[in-house]
Amino acid sequence: AQSVTQLDSQVPVFEEAPVELRCNYSSSVSVYLFWYVQYPNQGLQLLLKYLSGSTLVKGINGFEAEFNKSQTSFHLRKPSVHISDTAEYFCAVSDYGSSNTGKLIFGQGTTLQVKP
Amino acid sequence: DGGITQSPKYLFRKEGQNVTLSCEQNLNHDAMYWYRQDPGQGLRLIYYSQIVNDFQKGDIAEGYSVSREKKESFPLTVTSAQKNPTAFYLCASRSLGLPADTQYFGPGTRLTVL
């Protein structure tokens, strides 16, 4: 069975500082990996996804993530955060076998709190 | 504009009542999904449907029911059998054209049991 662990429930950071949100997954098969962002009382918006190819994936709003197969990680990074990046971030995984169903397994979420 | 709409945004229910949450999409997506979100637990899959008149249980289907009579619509009924229904409910849809096509999410419905 697959699982996703987001290692930090909350990450406080000052504006313009770099940030890394950590995500580890467990799966016995190859996977697709996703990061979503959720602003308060809203739905989820896709930030980026890894399907294959280059392990460094660039997304919207200046975010990027690196897939590390040996460490089964998919950490999200941004070199300089803004107040507007304050939100909850979810890492998710879908295996090739369930790709036709699109079933996603989500981590517990990380709240990014950007302080002025 | 294409997208997913959920209604109502907020819903209050008395114990013992069934309530139905609406989800409509005009993206011409084949697949639709319902998730439940609780604080600190991420999103958990309730039901999903890949084609009209067919749907499958997700990880936490007990106490919920769905229908898929039209491609655009996937309503979720929270029945009185659901022991702890207070949560944020999110609907999503996805094209089945390519592997791992992105799931697009609606704005959510917050259900509170009084």
As given in the structure block, the two tokens for residue B97 are 């054209």
Confidence of residue A33 (pLDDT cuts 50, 70, 90): very high
What DSSP designation does B97 have? Answer: S
Chain A CB within 8 Å of residue B50 CB: yes
What DSSP designation does B40 have? Answer: T
Q: What is the pLDDT of residues B10-41, one digit of tens each?
A: 999 888 899 999 999 999 999 999 999 998 88
What average pLDDT does range A28-32 have in this prediction? Answer: 81
Tell me the C-alpha distance between B37 and B39, whole Å: 7
Confidence of residue B110 (pLDDT cuts 50, 70, 90): very high
Nearest chain A CA: its distance from B41 CA (Å): 5
Residue position matching structure tokens 């990380």: A110
Bigger pLDDT: A20 or B16?
A: A20
CB contact under 8 Å between B40 and A109, yes or no, is: yes
What average pLDDT does range A3-20 have in this prediction? Answer: 96
Confidence of residue B95 (pLDDT cuts 50, 70, 90): confident
CB contact under 8 Å between B40 and A96, yes or no, is: no
CB contact under 8 Å between A102 and B103, yes or no, is: yes
Q: Considering only the beta carbons, identify the residue of A32, A34, A100 that sits closest to B96.
A: A100
Which pLDDT score, from 0 to 100, does residue A96 have?
Answer: 63
Which pLDDT score, from 0 to 100, does residue B62 have?
Answer: 96
What average pLDDT does range A76-96 have in this prediction? Answer: 93
Confidence of residue A94 (pLDDT cuts 50, 70, 90): confident
Confidence of residue A98 (pLDDT cuts 50, 70, 90): low
Which pLDDT score, from 0 to 100, does residue B102 have?
Answer: 82
Q: How many CB atoms lie within 10 A of CB B41?
A: 13
Average pLDDT, chain A: 91
CB contact under 8 Å between A90 and B108, yes or no, is: no
List the one residue out of A18, A46, A30, A28 whose CA is nearest residue A106.
A46
Please tell me which residue of chain B has the smallest CA distance to A37: B105
Which residues have CB under 8 Å from A98's CB, separation 6+? Answer: none
Amino acid B21 reads: L
Are A114 and A85 spatial neighbours (Cβ–Cβ below 8 Å)? yes
Which pLDDT score, from 0 to 100, does residue A41 have?
Answer: 81
Q: What are phi and psi of A65, to 5 degrees?
A: -145, 150
Which pLDDT score, from 0 to 100, does residue A27 have?
Answer: 83
